[in-house]
C-alpha cells in the first residue's frame, strides 16, 4: 500500500512535496473523508479526491524532445504564438516539460507526466546540471569565464536582482565569435542571455544538449522519442544520489 502523498504524485498532478501541502491543507479526501495525516496509507479499492476531483495513478511516461527555435515552452499562449505542443502528437499533449527553453533557444526538453521527477529536476535546492552550447559575438576570455563562475548580478523578469552563476568551457574562440559550453545549476529565466549581455556579448545561438545525464543525441529538430526504461532508471538513480549529496552537504 502506498502512502497518500506517493499515491497522489503517481497520478501526475504534482510532486510528493506538493501532495503533502494539499493533504495538510485539507484538500484531499479518501472515501469521502478528509485526510490530513501525512503517513496515511491508501488501499487499492480506496477512492481518492483532490479538490473534489477523483484522481487515479497513471502509467508514467518519459520522452526526449528536440525543441526548434520559434516555439515557446507552454501549452497555451494568449498572444497566439507557436508552442511546442503544436509539434507534439495529440496523444502526448498531456506531458509536461521539465523546465523551459525560451522562444529563440533550441535543444533538449524532457517531457513527462511524472510530477515527482519534474519537482526533483527543477527544485532550486537540488543542483541538477543543464548543459548548453552557446555561440556569441566577440572573443570570450579567461576573465569572462571567471566572472561567470564567480557570479554576475542580473535582473529577473520580475525585476529582482539575483546573482547568476555558470561554468564555461571555450570550444572555439576567434576575435569575431566564440562557441562556449555552458553548464547551469540554477533556473533563472533567460539566464545565459542575461549573463552574456552583462559582459557585453550577444547570444547568437543557444542550444541545450544535456539535462542531468540525458542528452540530445539521436534526435532531430522537432522530434520526440520515448526514453528507454534503462535511461529512466539511470536518471532516477542519478537524481537520488544528487539529493542525498545535497542533504549531506
- For the segment(s) 4-55, the CATH number from 3.30.1330.30, 3.50.40.10, 3.10.290.10, 3.40.50.300 is 3.10.290.10
CATH 3.30.70.1560 placement within the chain: 130-211
- For the segment(s) 62-125+213-227, the CATH number from 3.20.20.80, 3.20.20.70, 3.40.50.720, 3.30.70.580 is 3.30.70.580
CATH 3.30.70.580 placement within the chain: 62-125+213-227
CATH 3.10.290.10 placement within the chain: 4-55
Catalytic residue (choose from 51, 102, 150, 245): 102
Instruction: Clarify whether 102 is annotated catalytic.
Output: yes
Instruction: Find the helix packing angle between 115-122 and 16-24, rounded to 10°.
Output: 110
Give the residue from 83, 80, 89 showing the smallest Cα distance to 70.
Answer: 83
Number of C-beta neighbours around residue 56 at 10 A:
10
Sign of CA pseudo-dihedral 27, 33, 37, 43: negative
Beta bridge partners of 168: 182
CATH number for the region 130-211 comes to 3.30.70.1560
Give the residue from 33, 43, 39, 1 showing the smallest Cα distance to 19.
Answer: 39
249 residues of the chain, pLDDT tens digit each: 889 998 998 887 888 889 999 999 999 999 999 999 999 999 989 999 999 999 998 889 999 999 999 999 988 888 889 999 999 999 999 999 999 999 999 999 999 998 889 989 998 888 999 999 999 999 999 999 999 999 999 999 889 999 999 999 999 999 999 999 999 999 899 999 999 999 999 999 999 999 999 999 999 999 999 999 999 999 999 999 998 887 776
The b-or-e profile of 204-228 (16+ CB within 10 A means b, else e) is eebbbebbbebebeebeeeebeebe
CA gap 120, 243 in Å, rounded: 8
pTM for this model (two decimals): 0.86
Amino acid at each position: 500500500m502506498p502512502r497518500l502523498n506517493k499515491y497522489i504524485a503517481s497520478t501526475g498532478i504534482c510532486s510528493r512535496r506538493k501532495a503533502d501541502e494539499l493533504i495538510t491543507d485539507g484538500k484531499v479526501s479518501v472515501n469521502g473523508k478528509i485526510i490530513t495525516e501525512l503517513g496515511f496509507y491508501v488501499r487499492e479499492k480506496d477512492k481518492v479526491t483532490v479538490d473534489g476531483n477523483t484522481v487515479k495513478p497513471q502509467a508514467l511516461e518519459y520522452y526526449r524532445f528536440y525543441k526548434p527555435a520559434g516555439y515557446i515552452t507552454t501549452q497555451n499562449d494568449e498572444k497566439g504564438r507557436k508552442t511546442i505542443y503544436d509539434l507534439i502528437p495529440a496523444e502526448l499533449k498531456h506531458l509536461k516539460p521539465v523546465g523551459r527553453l525560451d522562444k529563440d533557444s533550441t535543444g533538449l526538453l524532457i517531457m513527462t507526466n511524472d510530477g515527482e521527477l519534474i519537482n526533483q529536476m527543477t527544485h532550486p535546492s537540488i543542483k541538477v546540471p543543464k548543459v548548453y552550447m552557446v555561440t556569441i559575438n566577440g572573443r570570450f576570455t579567461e576573465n569572462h569565464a571567471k566572472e561567470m563562475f564567480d557570479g554576475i548580478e542580473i535582473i529577473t523578469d520580475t525585476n529582482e536582482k539575483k546573482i547568476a552563476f555558470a561554468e564555461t568551457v571555450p570550444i572555439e574562440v576567434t576575435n569575431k565569435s566564440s562557441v562556449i559550453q555552458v553548464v547551469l545549476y540554477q533556473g533563472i529565466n533567460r539566464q545565459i542571455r542575461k549573463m552574456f549581455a552583462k559582459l557585453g556579448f550577444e547570444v547568437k545561438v543557444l542550444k541545450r544538449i544535456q539535462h542531468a545525464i540525458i542528452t540530445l543525441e539521436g534526435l532531430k529538430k522537432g522530434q520526440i522519442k520515448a526514453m528507454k526504461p534503462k535511461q529512466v532508471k539511470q536518471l532516477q538513480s542519478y537524481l537520488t544520489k544528487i539529493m542525498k549529496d545535497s542533504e549531506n552537504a
